[in-house]
Each structure stands twice: as C-alpha cells, then as structure tokens.
Amino acid sequence: MEKSPPAVSSSSEESRDISLHNVLVAHGLGLAPDGSFVRWLEKNPRHPRNWSTPRKFYDLIVIHLCDFFVTVASSAGTAAAKAAHVEFGISQTMAIFCFVSVSLMGQVLGSLILSSYSETFGRKRLYVLSTAIFSIGCIIIPAVPSLAAVVIGRWVTGFVSSIPANVLTGSLEDMYNSQDRLWWMCMIAVASNLGLVLGPLFGVYITTDLGWRWLFYIMAIITGILAGLCMFIRESRPALVLAHEVALFRQTTGLDTPPPLNPDHSPDFRTFARTTLLRPIQLYTEPIVCCVALMNSTTFGLIYLFSDALLPIYENMGFAQPQASLPFIAMAIGVILSLGMRLVDRVIIRRRINSGRTLLPEHKLTGLCVGTPMLAISLWWFGWTIPPRIQGLHWMVPTLPLVLLGFALNEFLTVMLGYLADSYLCYAASGLAAVALLRGVFSAVFPLFAGHMFSSLGANVATSVLASLATVYCFIPPLFVRYGPQIRARSRFAKHSLRTHEATCIDKDQFVTVAN
C-alpha cells in the first residue's frame, strides 16, 4: 500500500507555519486567524499608537502649526483683496473672488483628492510637499505683478492648504484611541478656529502697515520653515507602516510571509478613483455626514462673511479701519473659553466607563448641544445691538455676543470632527474631506454676497437671516443624540470602517461605533 505524501506535506507546512509565527512574534508581528495576512501585535512599539509621547507630540504640534498658519493666510485674503483691488483695476467684489474665493475653490478640490490619497498612499509626503508648495505659492502671488499670478498662486495654495486640517484628523486617529484623542481634537479645532478668526485681524494690520504683498511674504517664510520641520515627522498610516515592517522582515530574515493586511490597497488608479477618490462624495449619502457638513460649512462661511461685513459695522460706530478689526479678538476669546467643555466631556466619558456602561460617540455631543443654541443667541444679540437700527450703545454690547460666536464656532468644529472620527474611524479623513468640500464652497461664496446683503438689507436684518438659520440648526443635535446609533447601524461605511479598524488596530477604543 502506498504512503500518503499529503500527510507528510501537511505536517511540514504546519511546522513551517509554527516557525514563521514564532519569528513574526519576535518581531512584534503575527498572522491573522486564517493565516492569510500578517498583522500587528498589540505591544509592537513601531505601531503609531505605541510611539513615545515626545514622538507623537512633535508630529502633531508641527501639523497643528501648519493648519493654523494656512488658515490665517486663507481668512486674511479679504484684507489683501481690499488693499489690492485699486492696483489691479478691478472691483472689490472681483478682488475678493481672486484672493479669497479662488483659494477656497482650490481647497475644495484638494479636500476631495488629497485627503483620500493619504488613506491609500500615506500622510507624511503630503504634509511635506503641501507645505513646501504653499510657501512657493505665497512667493509667486506678490512677486509676479499680474492678476493671473494672484489667481494661480491662490488656487495652488488653496489646493494644498486642504492637507493639514483634513489629514490631521486621520493622523490623530492613527496615533490615539477615541478617549485619548479627545483633547487633541479640541486642539485641532482651536488651532484652525484661531487662525480663522485672527486671520482678518492679522491681514488688516499687515496690509495697513506693510502693504498686501508682505502678507504673503511673511506666510511664505513661516510655511517654508514648517516644510522643513515636516521632513522629520513619521508616516503614521498603520497599514502602510505595517507594509514597511513586513518588507523589512522579509529582507532581514529571508523568510516568505503572507501579504500584510492593507484594507486601503488599490492595485491601480482606476480602483483608487472608484473606491477611494469618490469616497467623500459617497459619504454625502450618510445623514450624519450631510448634517455635519451643512452645519459646519455655515459656521465657517459665517466667519468669512464677517471678514468683509464686520469692519464697516464697527467703522459706523466710530472705529478707524485697523481698530475696526479688533472685535475678532472677542471671537478668539470665545474659541479659547470653549476648552472648558472638554472637561465636561471628560467627566461624562469617565463616569460611563467606570460604571461599565456602553460608550457611544453620541455621548460626546454635549458641546454641540450647548454650542448650537449659543450660535443662535449670539447672532440675534449681535444683530439687534448694532447700527443702523440701534444707535448709541457702547461698543462692548455688540462685541460680547462675538465671544459666544467664537465659543459656538469651536464647539461645532471640535465636536463634529470628533463625532465623524469616532463614527467612521479609518475613513475619518474622507469624512472630513466631505465636510471640507462643502465648507470650502460656502466659505468661497459667502464673502461675495456679504457686502451686497448687508448694504441692501441693512446689518440688522441681514444678521437676523443668519440667526434664523442658526435657530433651525438647534433641532439637529438632539436628533443625533436620539437616533445616531440607529443611523450608524444602517450605514455600510460605519460598519465597514469598524471592521477595518478592529482588524488593523492594536488596542480597544473603549466605545462601540455601531449599536448592537
């Protein structure tokens, strides 16, 4: 009777698998349960979530600074437009289009393409290249005496400016679990919103004292330095770091392994375009993404609108032009004060975890539930304490609600971005790109009609229109709290992102993304 070679072969393969498994474990790697992929082990120090605190801090602080300064350059564009329109022989509205709207239109396209690119091909190279290109663009705008150079330069800088704000959320999800990234999400919002509200102030003072060209030269110097600092950050996309680890393992040991687990792998550009590039557009079918994008975009557009409309209001109250931009400081104070809401979030999260109760993303929506009515109150208050309908009030009376506006602005960004990151996990950058896309459209359009709206309706009625919309938004956060888990349970993106997250993550996030 013949012997059975398959049994010997099976035994030999089993022995090789055990040997491979042992060597992988020694390198902080392991095989998937079915043996078809190599995956991370929980304690591997090279996984981004196990990096040292100084390593994480350096990377995130540098990216935060990039986000802050590109946002300053964006919102300061209105001041440059008002200073340059006579030189170029165009109307003020056309100048705002060239200096502000074109930049934000570039940002829309960049949000769609580059954020999704980071999820498939990595984050570090995008940070380095985008910051360097931004710096070069800021040199071209003032150095070339042509309106075409302004348009091209602003479009290019807008295109690459989408990287820090959009991809930063993804980098944060790479490095921290949901509880630990709470404060970092807040810092993202603070950096972005401070840049947004201080940009007009910075722009007015620089253009008044040094001229509009120096606004861009200063930005070029700062972002050029940041581009150099970005070269020392690390790639943080876990799937790509794992691919590098597996390649290094094969090279050093000479052993063959199954492929690394990479849910983001796209074999060609067509597949990338179909499955990843269009993902932000597809996410608009998600009720959560749609509502978050609409609310966030309105609030951002409001600041760009005020960058044009606020100065004439305070000039009518007797302020000179540079000083008329100082009320933006009130918004900045509100942004900083909103940090107190994170203490409330931390208490809520800790209590639920300590009591063993399920922690859902909706349990971190307290700040949004406070910020939404605060936005409506601030606009109604401001709208009916300013000229022309209301005369003779002290300037502090209409300025105080701007503190509430800044508070609400930061809550919108902090809580909403955190909610998207917790709901869509490994697709956080795509979710944020969907928000940024609509936000860019609103921010590009709002300054174009701000002057006409406030001059034709009057500042009081025009602000009341905005306040009415903010009042409608007050109904959305309670709906999130009540129906959010059911909405995500029906979402194919939320469910798939949770499965992918569980396959590539090495620790527990201490919450469930999809309600059982």
Which DSSP string do the residues of 154-184 spell out, in sequence order? HHHHHHHHHHHHHHHHHHHHHH--TTTHHHH
Triad 140, 143, 144: Cα angle to 5°: 80
- In the structure encoding, which two tokens stand for residue 269, read together? 């550009």
- In the structure encoding, which two tokens stand for residue 123, read together? 């984050």
- Name residues whose C-beta falls within 8 Å of residue 90's C-beta, 6 or more positions apart in sequence: 98, 147
The pLDDT value given to residue 514: 45
Which domain CATH number covers 207? 1.20.1250.20
d(CA 474, CA 452) in angstroms, rounded, equals 27
Half-sphere exposure of 82 (CA within 13 A, CB side): 21
How long is the chain? Answer: 516
Bridge partner list, 40: 29
pLDDT in tens, the chain (516 residues): 444 455 445 555 555 666 787 888 888 898 888 888 899 988 899 999 999 999 999 999 999 999 999 999 999 999 999 999 999 999 999 999 999 999 999 998 888 777 667 767 789 999 999 999 999 999 999 999 999 999 999 999 999 998 887 788 789 889 998 777 777 877 887 888 999 999 999 999 999 999 999 999 999 999 999 999 999 999 998 988 999 999 999 998 888 888 888 766 655 667 667 666 688 888 998 999 999 999 999 998 999 999 989 999 999 999 988 899 999 999 999 999 998 998 888 888 888 888 888 888 898 899 999 999 999 999 999 999 999 989 889 999 999 999 999 999 999 888 887 888 788 887 776 787 788 889 889 999 999 998 889 999 999 999 999 999 999 999 999 999 999 999 988 888 888 787 776 666 666 555 444 443
Radius of gyration of the chain (CA): 25
The pLDDT value given to residue 516: 38
Nearest to 61 by CA among 173, 158, 164, 166: 164
Asked whether residue 184 is domain-assigned, the answer is yes
The pLDDT value given to residue 17: 62
Report H helices in 210-259. Answer: 212-230, 238-253
Please say whether the beta carbons of 364 and 347 come within 8 A. Answer: no
DSSP character string of 485-506:
HHHHHT-HHHHHHHHHHHHH-S
Asked whether residue 244 is domain-assigned, the answer is no
The pLDDT value given to residue 11: 54
Asked whether residue 149 is domain-assigned, the answer is yes
Please say whether the beta carbons of 239 and 261 come within 8 A. Answer: yes
The pLDDT value given to residue 437: 83
Please say whether the beta carbons of 68 and 191 come within 8 A. Answer: yes
Residue 108 belongs to domain spanning: 48-239+267-504
Asked whether residue 36 is domain-assigned, the answer is no
Asked whether residue 424 is domain-assigned, the answer is yes
DSSP character string of 289-333:
HHHHHHHHHHHHHHHHHHHHHHHHHHHTTT--TTGGGTTHHHHHH
The pLDDT value given to residue 10: 53
d(CA 77, CA 465) in angstroms, rounded, equals 25
The pLDDT value given to residue 265: 61
State the total domains in the chain.
Answer: 1
Please say whether the beta carbons of 401 and 379 come within 8 A. Answer: yes
Please say whether the beta carbons of 380 and 374 come within 8 A. Answer: no
d(CA 231, CA 211) in angstroms, rounded, equals 32
Please say whether the beta carbons of 238 and 504 come within 8 A. Answer: yes
d(CA 108, CA 438) in angstroms, rounded, equals 7
Asked whether residue 511 is domain-assigned, the answer is no
Reply yes or no: is the peptide bond before residue 388 cis, omega within 30 of 0: yes
CA 356 from centre of chain? 32
Nearest to 182 by CA among 48, 60, 338, 345: 345
Q: Is 388 exposed, middle or buried (0-12, 13-18, 19+ CB in 10 A)?
A: exposed
From first CA to last CA, the distance across the chain in angstroms is 56
- Name residues whose C-beta falls within 8 Å of residue 129's C-beta, 6 or more positions apart in sequence: 160
The pLDDT value given to residue 1: 45
Asked whether residue 19 is domain-assigned, the answer is no
d(CA 47, CA 240) in angstroms, rounded, equals 10
Nearest to 164 by CA among 439, 446, 433, 413: 433
Asked whether residue 32 is domain-assigned, the answer is no
Bridge partner list, 32: none
Please say whether the beta carbons of 498 and 361 come within 8 A. Answer: no
Please say whether the beta carbons of 129 and 179 come within 8 A. Answer: no
